[in-house]
Structure 1
Amino acid sequence: MKNPEGPQSGLMRRIDAYWSGRAREFSSTRMKEYGGRLRGLYEEVILPLVPSGAKFALDLGTGAGFFALLLAQKGLRVTGVDYSEAMLEQARCNARARGLSIEFRQMDAQALDFPDESFDFVFSRNVTWTLPRPELAYEGVARVLKRGGVFVNIDANYGRTFRVADQAGEPPVHPGQTAAQLRERNDIAERLPVTDRDRPDWDISVLKKAGLRLRALDRDLSLRLSDPDQMVIVTGAKGHVSRLFLIAMEKI
């Protein structure tokens, strides 16, 4: 399938450049979290939602591979996809360092290139807010899920938080990013239609239309992921944070 924005569209190039430019810093942060208490907190949230007997899992927008590693270590056969080849290089290194066999493939989340009903479980974290056409990603997830399979999406309307902070005159903050990277992040988010959606209600509606039913919903997941030993993971600006949500949808 072709990229919905075109394989060389200006916006997709900017998105790829932003995340690729963060690959090393992003991987370092995620692996520090993986070695800390946060991994266990995520396991408590995610693993009960994996269908009984599940074998094949897809980590959509795998980044540095945090969740691909988590699922593989629990015995699932995992495929991780990401648009950024620089991120995938980090994910492969992280998997090798832990002796895990995970297939990592360069792929657009909005144009999944897998046969129908390939996976028992699909997972995504902090990915759909970055996509020009997240509804296409949701349609693809519904297609590649097996019947009875589950899709878990953890995300937040970061773009809206960035906008509110910008309008309040607050400079964006992040311990690992430069001021130029943060400005680019906010500018990209402002161009994404998903920033204007009422989430997660919009997400649930789109997924229901694609043939999935709601299995679990948490509108403020950050309360369950609070870890004082880790950096704040939901910060938009000094005075504004994004409310992290979780939706779990089952294919009917």
Structure 2
Amino acid sequence: MKQKLLDEIEIYWDKRAESYSKVNQEELLSEQETLWRNEIQARIEKNYPRHIPKEIKVLDIGTGPGFFAIILAKAGYQVTAIDYTKAMLLQAKKNAKDYSKEISFYEMDAQNLLFQENSFDVIVSRNLTWVLQDPNKAYSSWTRVLKKKGLLLNFDANWYAYLFDQEKQKEYERDRENVKRLGVEDHYLGTDIDAMEAIARQVPLSRQKRPLWDVKILEELQMNGIRTDLSVWERVWSKIEKLNYAATPMFLVEVVK
């Protein structure tokens, strides 16, 4: 059953790789690049005030078409990026062609990292944990490869919570109505919504209240420096994203090991 679901997830993202890559390409050409880079770099610099970027090893988990990997390589960090989907990695390598020497790409399961313990100073991830089969195992693996005093930045949202919450369903439908009324592109129409909802019904985090769930799991892993930021979406999302996803605002789970 687990392998079947994993295959479904891989097939879905394989089909979406090219269109998702176009979204990342647009981000790299817009103010999103600067907003995201500033958000992440400010937190890294706060954690490592006496280090310059080239001294810091960053792991981008679930890199997709490479957005985080590229903006952090451009900022001077040593970047390693992983993804489970071959098609996503192909897109990432194309998008990162100007920074191919600064980024090491690997095909790897985010729930079972193959790196040695204490390998990275910083771990970043965006929109990944919600779709994992075993997010508990993922967090355990991530904190294992993170160095002592290292920084974990996990950006995510309660994606597809509307499938299990009537109030969220109403908010989701209101988002769709607002987007249509304002003549804004509906990001959900650009996806195979039926396939994604089928996956969302099977993965565990669609039913959880996050980031409360994340904090609980990280505390069980004996992580002490845990903080959450529920307003990060206000700083990094575009106006169109804010309209599309008002019902599911992005949050940040930040951990210092």
TM-score, structure 1 normalization: 0.86
**What's 1:235 paired with?**
244
**Among candidates 5, 16, 24, match of residue 22 of structure 1:** 16
The letter for the 2-side match of 1:121 is: V
Deviations 1:81-122 (A, max 9, x none): 001000000000111145653111111100111000000000
Of 97-106 and 218-227, the range deviating more from structure 2: 97-106
Name the SS for the 2:238 alignment partner: coil
Name the SS for the 2:190 alignment partner: coil
- Aligned partners of 1:162, 1:208: CA distance in 2, in Å? 28
Name the SS for the 1:80 alignment partner: strand
Asked if the contact 1:109–1:137 (Cα under 8 Å) also holds between the matched residues in 2, the reply is: yes
> Displacement of 1:30 after TM fit?
0.8
Change (3 A) 1:86 1:233: farther
Asked if the contact 2:83–2:89 (Cα under 8 Å) also holds between the matched residues in 1, the reply is: yes
**What's 1:112 paired with?**
113
- Aligned partners of 1:107, 1:226: CA distance in 2, in Å? 28
- Aligned partners of 1:154, 1:113: CA distance in 2, in Å? 22
> Does residue 1:58 correspond to 2:59, yes or no?
yes
- Aligned partners of 1:58, 1:234: CA distance in 2, in Å? 30
> Does residue 1:189 correspond to 2:195, yes or no?
no
Residue identity over aligned pairs, in percent, reads 33
**What's 1:68 paired with?**
69
- Aligned partners of 1:234, 1:191: CA distance in 2, in Å? 27
Change (3 A) 1:234 1:191: farther
For structure 2, list consecutive stretches of 5 or more residues without a partner in the other structure: 177-185
Q: Which has the higher helix share?
A: 2
The letter for the 2-side match of 1:14 is: E
- Aligned partners of 1:244, 1:175: CA distance in 2, in Å? 16
Name the SS for the 1:232 alignment partner: helix
Q: Give the aligned CA root-mean-square deviation in angstroms.
A: 2.3
Asked if the contact 2:110–2:138 (Cα under 8 Å) also holds between the matched residues in 1, the reply is: yes
**What's 2:190 paired with?**
177
**What's 1:221 paired with?**
232
- Aligned partners of 2:5, 2:103: CA distance in 1, in Å? 29
- Aligned partners of 2:64, 2:11: CA distance in 1, in Å? 13
Deviations 1:203-230 (A, max 9, x none): 01211222322354211321112433xx
Alignment of 1:139-154 (within 5 A): 139-154=140-155
**What's 1:247 paired with?**
253
The letter for the 2-side match of 1:84 is: T
- Aligned partners of 2:187, 2:136: CA distance in 1, in Å? 28
Asked if the contact 1:234–1:242 (Cα under 8 Å) also holds between the matched residues in 2, the reply is: no
**What's 1:137 paired with?**
138
The letter for the 1-side match of 2:196 is: R
Asked if the contact 1:69–1:100 (Cα under 8 Å) also holds between the matched residues in 2, the reply is: no
**What's 2:81 paired with?**
80
Name the SS for the 1:241 alignment partner: coil
- Aligned partners of 1:25, 1:45: CA distance in 2, in Å? 25
Change (3 A) 1:95 1:24: same
**What's 2:39 paired with?**
45
